[in-house]
Amino acid sequence: MKVGFIGLGNVGAKLAGSLLRNGHDLVVYDLDPALVKVFTDRGAVAGEGPAALMRDCEAVVTCLPSPAACEAVVTEMIPHVGPGKIWMEMSTTDAEDVARLGAMVTAKGGAAVECPVSGGCHRADTGNISIFAGCDRATFERVLPLLTTLGRRVLHTGEMGTASKLKVMTNYLATANLLTLCEALVTMKAAGLDLATTYEAIKISSGTSFVHETESQMILNGCRDINFTMDLVKKDIGLFDDIAKAHDVPLEISPLMVSIFEDGIERYGPRAQSDDIIRRLEDATGLDITAPGFPSEMIDDEPEEQGYEVVPPR
């Protein structure tokens, strides 16, 4: 299968890298020619644009920074959509938007899949990331070989829109965990506890989590670089908050989280790393929440494995 990939940013480049590393015939496109050159130097073909990729490839994957960017790309591709063509959207986006765009693709005889990822850039880099896939079952089975190359655990979530809702839900939970970890680390430092000891105490306890075992290390190192910025966090948790409002769920924690990140963006800028949100508490207390011995980047030390479908209990 000839595959096109549009969007070679922090996550997209790593996902596209998994396709190239595993021998797929890959055509790439990005607005930044330097990002395209990285892939052509490794054997990929440079595409002329979204329309040309859809014309020349059986499947086109998009991984873009916003719903507006996604709509613009799909609009360019639509004239070349027809039977046998597949659009696979791997961005974190609005469920209604992706379902609407998917309907445009299917109306032209093509197939559409929303397949956002979860697990961090370091796992996207090794093909060990998790993928949610929203589409009809026949389309899911058709693209499963691609999805199990891009990621390790693949969950068919139902119709278009379901995967996007679940993805922003998981980002909401991860962000809630990040904010409580920030409060925990600052409070322990204020109480005189050693931060490395605090890290290990959380790690071996009921308080541990994926976020702690990865992002707490970036916080304590001081780099705070997880390839995810405050504006993207605000977008994702805002999408989750919108879902709750649309269904009259009276959330209490979610609106507070949105306001915390709005304040963080005002203080440090929209492109500040999301883990920089701890600086609000560092600034308020005058404490330095760093410790020696922690790494400056997240690395997935698990070997790349063939992906598989996760089947919910019935």
Q: Which residue did the predictor score with more confidence, 162 or 91? A: 162
CB 157 within 8 A of CB 133: yes
Please give the biggest Cα pair distance in the chain. 65
Amino acid at 178: L
Q: Say what the pLDDT of residue 92 is.
A: 84
**pLDDT tens sequence across 11-49:** 999 999 999 999 999 999 999 999 999 999 999 999 999
Is 207's pLDDT higher than 90? yes
pLDDT band at residue 314 using 50, 70 and 90 as cut-offs: confident
* Lookup result for tokens 């922003």: 168
Q: Say what the pLDDT of residue 159 is.
A: 96
**pLDDT tens sequence across 81-119:** 999 999 999 988 889 999 999 999 999 999 999 999 999
Is 178's pLDDT higher than 90? yes
**pLDDT tens sequence across 254-313:** 999 999 999 999 999 999 999 999 999 999 999 999 999 999 998 888 888 889 999 999
**pLDDT tens sequence across 42-84:** 999 999 999 999 999 999 999 998 889 999 999 999 999 999 9
Q: Say what the pLDDT of residue 194 is.
A: 98
Cα angle 107-112-115, degrees, rounded to a multiple of 5: 155
CA 145 to each of CA 1, 3, 148, 309: distance values in angstroms, whole numbers, following the listed order: 10, 12, 5, 10
Q: Say what the pLDDT of residue 299 is.
A: 85
Q: Say what the pLDDT of residue 300 is.
A: 84
What's the whole-number mean pLDDT along residues 222-238? 94
CB 88 within 8 A of CB 113: yes
Is 204's pLDDT higher than 90? yes
Q: Which residue did the predictor score with more confidence, 301 or 157? A: 157
Q: Is 23 exposed, middle or buried (0-12, 13-18, 19+ CB in 10 A)?
A: exposed
Mark out the alpha helices in 222-252 (DSSP H runs). Answer: 230-246
Q: Say what the pLDDT of residue 301 is.
A: 82
Is the overall model pTM greater than 0.85, yes or no?
yes
Q: Say what the pLDDT of residue 8 is.
A: 96
pLDDT band at residue 192 using 50, 70 and 90 as cut-offs: very high
Listed in sequence order, the residues at least 6 apart from 41 whose beta carbon sits closer than 8 Å to its beta carbon are none
CB atoms near residue 51 (< 10 Å): 16
Q: Which two tokens stand for residue 200?
A: 């290990």
Domains within the chain, CATH numbers bracketed? 2-163+302-310 (3.40.50.720), 165-285 (1.10.1040.10)
Question: Rounded distance, CA 135 to CA 156, Å?
Answer: 8
Beta bridge partners of 229: 273
